[in-house]
Amino acid sequence: MTWITWYNICLAENAREGSLLDFTADLIKSGQIFVLMYILYRQSPVSPIIWQFIAMWAFLQVWRWIMFWAGCVFYWQNIMKQFEKEDIKRASIAQWTILVLFSPLLDIAGNILFVIAPFLHSIAHASFIGDLTYVVAPKGDEVPSKEDKQVSKK
């Protein structure tokens, strides 16, 4: 393949959500948080530069939280209005309040359960077990009929 082809493939891969580059950036951000916590634990007088770093990180988290919920409000107020109320079950005010207030904790729990744990499991599986088989699910037209199942049982 030519360099341009590799470059275009790389651009397409890095543009999607959950790409290797995106996942690596998330791991680096998590590592930065752990390093920051270690520095705060070990350094008794915390320098102003570290306080600036903490303030910038906290502001980023608050900004992400505000932008996410602003996008949700826009989505539900503008895009989902086109559907009938009977088609989509809507959450109550109490459910929205609980979801908004606990979303930072739910974000951490979701990141651990659905990103970090599967990543570590797949790395451990690939490192120590070694049988990485590719499972191919049957397509819609390849689903065996009742006659095929009866023939295969005989």
Q: What pLDDT, in 10s, does the model give residues 133-150? A: 776 777 766 666 666 555
Pair 33, 26: CB distance under 8 Å: no
Structure-token pair, residue 54: 């903490």
Q: Which residue has the tokens 């659905």?
A: 114
H/E segment holding residue 118: helix 117-124
The values of phi and psi at residue 114, to 5°, are: -110, -5
Query: Residue 25 has what pLDDT?
Result: 79
DSSP 64-84: HHHHHHHHHHHIIIIIGGGS-
Predicted TM-score (pTM) of the model is: 0.54
Q: pLDDT, tens digit, for every residue of 18-73?
A: 777 777 777 777 777 778 778 778 877 878 887 888 888 889 888 988 999 999 88
First to last CA, the chain: 50
How far apart CA 78 and CA 89 sit, in angstroms, is: 16
